[in-house]
Amino acid sequence: MIQLDKVSKTYKSKTVLHPVSMHIEEGKSIGIIGPNGAGKSTFLKLVASLEKPTDGTLSFNGVPYRKNVKNLRKNMGYIPQDIALYEELTVKEQISFWKRVSLEKPDPSFLKQMIQTLRLDEVYKQRVDRLSGGWRRKVNLLVGFMNNPSICLLDEPTAGIDLAAKEDILTWLQSLHDQGKTLLYISHDWYELNQLSDEYLLFAKGRPIVRATREELLREKDSIMEQYPEEKELQNILKFFK
């Protein structure tokens, strides 16, 4: 579905992502892990078409991004790490505003289902800036995916939130995966990764170093740690992987 061919990104002579070639299959749920500054967010933004690669090409269903960007974005939802909402608005106003922004009118039944699963009806009339982090993440998720995209990209969707909110979000993401949608998300949380991922994509030093299933990663874990002894953060991440 999405093909990366020697895709790299350089900012002012600093390479933040070394050439990557990869195929992301439809319906796969891929958890991206790695230390800070390893190139995970840049990779996700490139896939999301929010960044242009310095070199290489990305294509969606065989058509290069540059020729297909409208169709690509129609099929894609992206949840940034930040809360990309107008926080002065209430949840209701927020949803209503983004619905009007959207070219494709969201399916009301999908929206209703999403609101119920994420229990957003409880805070429907409250201002977003007065909600806890967990609720804000949920509203952020709802707005990002209101068009029921087939490719869901998420940059740390459950970072810094309470367990109840995390459970709601994971339940929702699991249901999306069960519907056959493609999930590509960054996380530092093994519980979340184990719940959702078919595969893990491990980043270090500006490149993906391993793409593996849970079993494969468990098998290769020690050798990776030996391969990158100076990467303390990577060591810590893998240490807790069971």
Residues at the site binding other proteins, with contacts judged by CB under 8 A: 48, 50, 69-70, 73-74, 76-78, 80-86, 88-89, 93, 97-98, 100-104, 127, 143-144, 146-147
Smallest Cα–Cα separation from 23: which of 47, 42, 40, 52? 47
Smallest Cα–Cα separation from 101: which of 133, 131, 73, 125? 73
Measured from the CB of residue 73, what is the shortest distance to other proteins in angstroms? 5
Nearer to other proteins, 101 or 223 (CB): 101
Measured from the CB of residue 87, what is the shortest distance to other proteins in angstroms? 9
Tell me if 114 sits within 8 A of 146, measured CB to CB.
yes
DSSP state of 138: H
Nearer to other proteins, 71 or 194 (CB): 71
Nearer to other proteins, 144 or 208 (CB): 144
Measured from the CB of residue 97, what is the shortest distance to other proteins in angstroms? 6
Smallest Cα–Cα separation from 166: which of 197, 188, 135? 135
Total residues found in the chain within this entry:
242
Nearer to other proteins, 100 or 242 (CB): 100
Tell me if 56 sits within 8 A of 5, measured CB to CB.
yes
Measured from the CB of residue 93, what is the shortest distance to other proteins in angstroms? 6
What proportions of the chain, in percent to the nearest 5, are helix, strand and coil?
45, 25, 30
Measured from the CB of residue 227, what is the shortest distance to other proteins in angstroms? 34
Nearer to other proteins, 50 or 164 (CB): 50
